[in-house]
Amino acid sequence: TVRFGIDKALESLGVKAVNEGTSTGANHFGSGDLIASYSPVDGQLIAQVKSTTKTDYEKVLETATSAFKTWRLMPAPQRGEIVRQFADKLREKKEALGKLVSYEMGKSYQEGLGEVQEMIDICDFAAGLSRQLHGLTMHSERPGHRMYEQYHPLGVVGIISAFNFPVAVWSWNTALAWVCGDVCVWKPSEKTPLCGIACQNIASEVFKANNLPEGISCLINGDYQVGEFMTKDTRVPLISATGSTRMGKIVAQEVAARLGKSLLELGGNNAIIVTPDADIKMTVIGAVFGAVGTAGQRCTSTRRLIIHESIYDQVKTALVDAYKQLRIGNPLDQTNHVGPLIDVEAVNLYKKALTAVVDEGGNLVVEGGVLSGEGYESGCYVKPAIAEAQPEFKIVQHETFAPVLYLLKYSGDVENAIDIQNNVAQGLSSAIMTNNLREAERFLSVAGSDCGIANVNIGTSGAEIGGAFGGEKETGGGRESGSDAWKVYMRRQTNTINYTTELPLAQGIKFDL
Ligand code: NAD
């Protein structure tokens, strides 16, 4: 019970002390150096994974490329059936995988389960989508001609993911890519390699049971250098990369240099605008969950609250009171609200942010600090902090991946709040709390929020899989998950068929021989 059943979970997911994979194909995790995965929960070594060398990578790519030749010929609804089976397996393994996510990454067990639920949901979505990969038909300008468009798979899709959603982000990509007919090569974050192993084991079981090539789902392990094998590889037409803006700028250039496609899901600097017409109780719940959930390590975490001066003190007091009730500790213990940061490096960045905001003239209303002593041995537990700041502070303009919330004051009209909200480099998630229809509509209008996600009376975090997910500006512009995000995983082809005995040219051009 001390380890909350984590050993049993690891066993059921096939995660061993050293994960080498099998000696062939896509499950060949690697023959390189060992990557050790330490839990931020208790600082213990969980297991080790062999990293992927260039030679290993070549083998994986061969396996993937050859699997594509089989997979693309399978009708899309049959591919959907495989993804449906994968979702069933995830349902079976939900508790174990949720626990591993919580233990390896540090988010609460509830959020770990939520991540696996998101995987199940996107698989269900993808199974339905497999019968709806529609193209349009158009009227040809030429008599006796038919014109339409169709979508074909791209080939090998490279997925690079971040530590904070160690399983869901992969599934957002892979479930759609699979029904589209693509095969996937995944490089999970080097900070959460065991989540990658567990997912790959589950996927492999499904493909094996259906006598399908294992290369449909491939896993490679390592840091940015292993990621670079893919970003530089012309055999990988699409790179879907989730992580920091710093990483996205490098990956975008690498992929563009070979005219490949990239789908980028990068950092956010998300704000909630709180107007005089806001429901304060809802605001506090939304803001606190948004700021401290996943210990502030969601791309959609609430970083800034832009509060009207008339209710500023009231909101501030309510937040300070709410923060007093937060319980920080082992995320597998469901009575705790806030778990650890991913590692000590993240703790240092958190500390730096608190120093920076004070140096720039800010005021800490909830002080924060690093926790030590029993239960906090990993050194990764920090207290969520709240700082009063100015919108233009450098530290406020920057995404600090930790539970630090900045309170900003606005006066006058909602336009002023919208200006503050948009005046950052990032453009992922945004929200307004108001019961005033005019304010809400202005926030959603063409002159409103410039983010990929704009919510009314909901916080910034916790998107549903049915919508397209992603953001503008330095967030990278990519869209994943629901709506028509599937199109990025396919190539569009326009087809014109002449069923006459004449050959009329387009635009009425005459060419008589
Ligand atoms: P990170 O940028 O350090 O790493 C992300 C991934 O990119 C890792 O797998 C890493 O190995 C790889 N990588 C780094 N440099 C690379 C390079 N030059 N070439 C190829 N691969 C490279 O990010 P992180 O610390 O793991 O995650 C936190 C960041 O991710 C935050 O900024 C957060 O906002 C962002 N994020 C965004 C979304 C989104 O959907 N917009 C979702 C989750 C996380």
Smallest Cα–Cα separation from 280: which of 319, 320, 309? 319
Task: State if residue 401 touches ligand 1 by the CB under 6 angstroms criterion.
Answer: yes
Tokens 């798979």 belong to 153
Q: Read off the tokens for 350.
A: 């958190």
Q: DSSP characters for 136-172?
A: -EE--SSTTEEEEEEEEE-SEEEEE--SSSTTHHHHH
The strands making up 238-242's β-sheet, listed across from edge to edge, are 217-219, 183-187, 156-160, 238-242, 261-265
Of the listed ranges 58-62, 99-103, 322-326, 502-506, the least confidently predicted one is 502-506
Task: State if residue 428 touches ligand 1 by the CB under 6 angstroms criterion.
Answer: yes
d(CA 355, CA 353): 5
Task: State if residue 247 touches ligand 1 by the CB under 6 angstroms criterion.
Answer: yes
**Angle between helix 109-129 and 76-105 (nearest 10):** 170
Provide CB contacts within 8 A for 97, sequence distance 6+: 9, 13, 90, 112, 116, 167, 195, 198, 199, 202
List 473's β-bridge partners, or say none: 426
Q: Read off the tokens for 450.
A: 């410039």
In angstroms, what is the span from residue 248 Cα to ligand 1's centroid? 7
- Is 82 within 8 Å of 67 (Cβ atoms)? no
The tens digit of pLDDT for each residue in 434-449 reads 999 999 999 999 999 9
- Is 427 within 8 Å of 452 (Cβ atoms)? yes
Smallest Cα–Cα separation from 260: which of 169, 177, 154? 154
Residue nearest atom 42 of ligand 1, based on CA coordinates? 299
Query: From residue 358, how far is each of 355, 394, 406, 407, 427 by CA, in Å?
Result: 5, 12, 12, 13, 25
Q: Which residues are catalytic?
A: 265
Ligand 1 atom nearest residue 265's Cα: 41
Smallest Cα–Cα separation from 112: which of 95, 133, 137? 95
The tens digit of pLDDT for each residue in 7-58 reads 999 999 999 888 877 645 556 668 899 999 999 999 999 999 999 999 999 9
- Predicted confidence at residue 462, as pLDDT, reads 84
Higher pLDDT, 235 or 2: 235
d(CA 459, CA 180): 32
Q: pLDDT > 70: what percent of the chain?
A: 98
501 by DSSP, 3-state: which? coil
Residue nearest atom 41 of ligand 1, based on CA coordinates? 265
In angstroms, what is the span from residue 161 Cα to ligand 1's centroid? 6
Measured in degrees and rounded to the nearest 5, phi and psi for residue 407 equal -95, 125
Sign of CA dihedral 338, 342, 344, 348: negative
The tens digit of pLDDT for each residue in 76-102 reads 999 999 999 999 999 999 999 999 999
Task: State if residue 196 touches ligand 1 by the CB under 6 angstroms criterion.
Answer: no
Higher pLDDT, 23 or 429: 429
d(CA 31, CA 52): 6
Helices (H), 232-343: 245-257, 280-292, 312-324
Q: Is the pLDDT of residue 110 over 90?
A: yes
- Predicted confidence at residue 512, as pLDDT, reads 86
Q: pLDDT > 90: what percent of the chain?
A: 94
Task: State if residue 267 touches ligand 1 by the CB under 6 angstroms criterion.
Answer: yes
In angstroms, what is the span from residue 164 Cα to ligand 1's centroid? 9
Smallest Cα–Cα separation from 126: which of 172, 69, 182? 172
Average pLDDT over residues 400-429: 98
Task: State if residue 198 touches ligand 1 by the CB under 6 angstroms criterion.
Answer: no
233, 247, 302, 488: which to mutate for ligand 1, most atoms within 8 A of CB? Answer: 247
Residue type, 10: L
299, 424, 473, 481: which to mutate for ligand 1, most atoms within 8 A of CB? Answer: 299
> For 418-421, which contacts have Cβ atoms below 8 Å and span 24 or more sequence positions?
418/273, 418/442, 418/443, 418/447, 418/448, 418/449, 420/271, 420/306, 420/391, 421/271, 421/273, 421/304, 421/306, 421/449
The tens digit of pLDDT for each residue in 273-314 reads 999 999 999 999 999 999 999 999 999 999 999 999 999 999
Smallest Cα–Cα separation from 32: which of 60, 3, 56? 56
d(CA 248, CA 472): 13
Measured in degrees and rounded to the nearest 5, phi and psi for residue 201 equal -60, -40
In angstroms, what is the span from residue 193 Cα to ligand 1's centroid? 14
In angstroms, what is the span from residue 343 Cα to ligand 1's centroid? 15
SS3 content of the chain, % helix, strand, coil (to 5): 40, 20, 40
- Predicted confidence at residue 22, as pLDDT, reads 60
d(CA 251, CA 133): 28
Residue nearest atom 37 of ligand 1, based on CA coordinates? 266
List 48's β-bridge partners, or say none: 18, 36
Residue nearest atom 35 of ligand 1, based on CA coordinates? 243
Task: State if residue 299 touches ligand 1 by the CB under 6 angstroms criterion.
Answer: yes
pLDDT, averaged across the chain: 96
Smallest Cα–Cα separation from 166: which of 121, 83, 102, 220? 102
The tens digit of pLDDT for each residue in 174-188 reads 999 999 999 999 999
In angstroms, what is the span from residue 243 Cα to ligand 1's centroid? 2
- Is 431 within 8 Å of 421 (Cβ atoms)? no
Task: State if residue 345 touches ligand 1 by the CB under 6 angstroms criterion.
Answer: no
**Angle between helix 54-71 and 224-231 (nearest 10):** 50
Task: State if residue 228 touches ligand 1 by the CB under 6 angstroms criterion.
Answer: yes
Q: Read off the tokens for 457.
A: 């009376």
In angstroms, what is the span from residue 247 Cα to ligand 1's centroid? 6
Tokens 């899989």 belong to 465
Ligand 1 atom nearest residue 401's Cα: 31
Smallest Cα–Cα separation from 318: which of 395, 433, 152, 184? 433
Q: What is the DSSP letter of 432?
A: E
List 272's β-bridge partners, or say none: 305, 431
- Predicted confidence at residue 25, as pLDDT, reads 53
- Which of the four pLDDT bands, split at 50, 70 and 90, describes residue 504? confident
- Which of the four pLDDT bands, split at 50, 70 and 90, describes residue 137? very high
Residue nearest atom 13 of ligand 1, based on CA coordinates? 224
